[in-house]
Protein backbone atom coordinates (compact mmCIF):
# COMPACT_ATOMS: atom_id res chain seq x y z
CA UNK A 1 0.00 0.00 0.00
CA UNK A 2 1.22 3.47 -0.82
CA UNK A 3 0.86 6.36 1.57
CA UNK A 4 -2.32 8.28 0.82
CA UNK A 5 -4.69 10.51 2.73
CA UNK A 6 -6.77 7.39 3.33
CA UNK A 7 -3.90 5.13 4.44
CA UNK A 8 -2.10 7.56 6.77
CA UNK A 9 -4.70 7.16 9.55
CA UNK A 10 -4.11 3.41 9.40
CA UNK A 11 -0.38 3.96 9.97
CA UNK A 12 -1.09 6.35 12.85
CA UNK A 13 -3.48 3.83 14.42
CA UNK A 14 -0.78 1.15 14.31
CA UNK A 15 1.74 3.59 15.80
CA UNK A 16 -0.64 4.55 18.62
CA UNK A 17 -1.58 0.95 19.39
CA UNK A 18 2.05 -0.10 19.91
CA UNK A 19 3.61 2.63 22.11
CA UNK A 20 6.67 0.64 23.26
CA UNK A 21 7.47 -1.12 20.01
CA UNK A 22 10.96 -1.15 18.50
CA UNK A 23 11.47 0.31 15.03
CA UNK A 24 11.92 -3.04 13.32
CA UNK A 25 8.70 -4.40 14.81
CA UNK A 26 6.82 -1.24 13.85
CA UNK A 27 8.06 -1.67 10.28
CA UNK A 28 6.94 -5.30 10.28
CA UNK A 29 3.52 -4.32 11.63
CA UNK A 30 3.11 -1.76 8.84
CA UNK A 31 4.13 -4.29 6.19
CA UNK A 32 1.74 -6.84 7.70
CA UNK A 33 -1.01 -4.20 7.42
CA UNK A 34 -0.30 -3.89 3.71
CA UNK A 35 2.17 -1.00 3.43
CA UNK A 36 4.99 -1.35 0.92
CA UNK A 37 8.33 -1.96 2.64
CA UNK A 38 9.85 1.32 1.43
CA UNK A 39 6.84 3.30 2.66
CA UNK A 40 6.87 1.41 5.96
CA UNK A 41 10.57 2.21 6.48
CA UNK A 42 9.95 5.91 5.83
CA UNK A 43 6.99 5.89 8.21
CA UNK A 44 9.16 4.37 10.93
CA UNK A 45 11.67 7.14 10.34
CA UNK A 46 9.31 10.12 10.12
CA UNK A 47 5.91 9.34 11.67
CA UNK A 48 6.95 9.58 15.36
CA UNK A 49 8.37 13.05 14.82
CA UNK A 50 5.38 14.21 12.78
CA UNK A 51 3.04 12.84 15.45
CA UNK A 52 4.88 14.73 18.20
CA UNK A 53 4.84 17.93 16.15
CA UNK A 54 1.07 17.70 15.91
CA UNK A 55 0.66 16.98 19.62
CA UNK A 56 2.96 19.84 20.62
CA UNK A 57 2.11 22.46 17.98
CA UNK A 58 0.15 24.63 20.42
CA UNK A 59 2.81 24.41 23.14
CA UNK A 60 5.28 26.82 21.56
CA UNK A 61 7.90 24.13 20.97
CA UNK A 62 10.37 24.92 18.23
CA UNK A 63 11.37 22.12 15.88
CA UNK A 64 14.19 21.84 13.38
CA UNK A 65 13.40 22.03 9.67
CA UNK A 66 15.70 19.12 8.91
CA UNK A 67 16.44 15.62 10.07
CA UNK A 68 19.42 13.29 9.87
CA UNK A 69 19.39 9.89 8.25
CA UNK A 70 22.15 7.39 8.90
CA UNK A 71 22.31 4.02 7.22
CA UNK A 72 24.23 1.28 9.01
CA UNK A 73 27.93 2.01 8.81
CA UNK A 74 27.56 5.34 7.04
CA UNK A 75 27.84 9.03 7.83
CA UNK A 76 24.69 10.92 8.81
CA UNK A 77 23.09 12.90 6.00
CA UNK A 78 20.86 15.91 6.65
CA UNK A 79 17.56 16.25 4.80
CA UNK A 80 14.93 18.97 4.79
CA UNK A 81 11.63 17.80 6.25
CA UNK A 82 9.81 19.69 3.51
CA UNK A 83 11.45 17.47 0.90
CA UNK A 84 10.66 14.11 2.48
CA UNK A 85 9.03 11.64 0.12
CA UNK A 86 6.00 11.16 2.33
CA UNK A 87 5.02 14.79 2.49
CA UNK A 88 3.79 14.38 6.06
CA UNK A 89 5.24 17.63 7.41
Q: What is the pLDDT of residues 40-54, one digit of tens each?
A: 998 998 888 888 888
In a domain, 88, yes or no: no
Higher pLDDT, 46 or 86: 46
**Domain extent at residue 35:** 8-83
Higher pLDDT, 86 or 74: 74
In a domain, 3, yes or no: no
Which residues lie across from 69 on neighbouring strands?
77
Tally of CB atoms within 10 A around 69: 13
Helix axes 37-56, 8-17, angle to 10 degrees: 70
In a domain, 1, yes or no: no
> How many folded domains does the chain comprise?
1
* pLDDT score for 70: 77
Name the average pLDDT for the chain: 85
Amino acid sequence: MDLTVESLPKAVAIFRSLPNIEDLEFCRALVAAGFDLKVAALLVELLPSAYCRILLRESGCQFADEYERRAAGSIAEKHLLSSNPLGIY
